Amino acid sequence: MAKVIIKLENDISTDDIYPGRFMATVLPSETPQFAFFDRTEFNAQLKAKAFPAGSIIVGGENFGCGSSREQACSTLKGHEVAVVARSISRIFLQNAINLGLQVVLCPGIEASEGDDLEITATQVLNRATGQAYDLVQLPAARKGIMDAGGLIPYTRARLMAKG
């Protein structure tokens, strides 16, 4: 079970997640400091490590729209958060899978900041409201890459298994 640390509206862009003015900083070890930089209170909480690993960002429709910058995913992965959203833009979703950012597509999700969510194989359960919401299953290969921590760890493990 994990706590919702922020509930966001629809159409959260990659520029909101990781502002373009910081594109000179691309190292995954450095990008987390700029997560949601223009949402100053939330950014300060992230930088202060106010949330435990596995905390959840809830998004509406079209989460991660905008540019294809993968830093929007790496900045969130650096804070070890997960994203549960009604829908996720195609490029953001693929970047999240490739980088191992935990994302869940849950078209009916209703949650507020502070709610405890439990993610099962088929549903997201909101313990605060008692409601359950079906999630959209990722194809097994894509889920395997995400669960392995991203494309590089996934590929490395597969190569090592082949000897």
For the segment 124-163, what is each residue's pLDDT rounded down to a tens digit? 999 999 999 999 999 999 999 999 999 999 999 999 998 7
Say what the pLDDT of residue 77 is. 96
Q: Is 79 helix (H, G, I), strand (E, B) or coil?
A: coil
pLDDT tens column, 84-121: 999 999 999 999 999 999 999 999 999 999 999 999 99
Say what the pLDDT of residue 163 is. 75
Residue 28: which pLDDT band, with cuts at 50, 70 and 90? Answer: confident
Is it the case that residue 45 has pLDDT exceeding 90?
Answer: yes
- Our measurement of the distance from residue 11's CA atom to the centroid of its chain's CA atoms, rounded to an integer in Å, reads 14
Say what the pLDDT of residue 162 is. 85
Is it the case that residue 41 has pLDDT exceeding 90?
Answer: yes
Phi/psi class of residue 11: alpha, beta or left (left: φ > 0; alpha: ψ in -120 to 50)?
Answer: left
HSE toward the beta carbon, residue 25, CA cutoff 13 A: 16
User: For 140-150, b where at least 16 C-beta lie within 10 A, e where not — what string?
Assistant: eeeeebbebbb
Say what the pLDDT of residue 75 is. 95
Say what the pLDDT of residue 32 is. 95
Task: Report yes or no: 109 and 133 within 8 Å, Cβ to Cβ.
Answer: yes
**Residue-averaged pLDDT of the chain:** 96
Task: List strands edge to edge, sheet with 2-7.
Answer: 103-105, 82-85, 56-59, 2-7, 116-119, 123-126, 131-134
Mean pLDDT, rounded, for 57-83: 95
CATH fold for the domain made of 2-137: Aconitase; domain 4 (3.20.19)
Domain range summary for the chain, segments of one domain joined by +: 2-137
Whole-number Å distance between alpha carbons of 105 and 97: 12
Say what the pLDDT of residue 127 is. 97
Is it the case that residue 57 has pLDDT exceeding 80?
Answer: yes
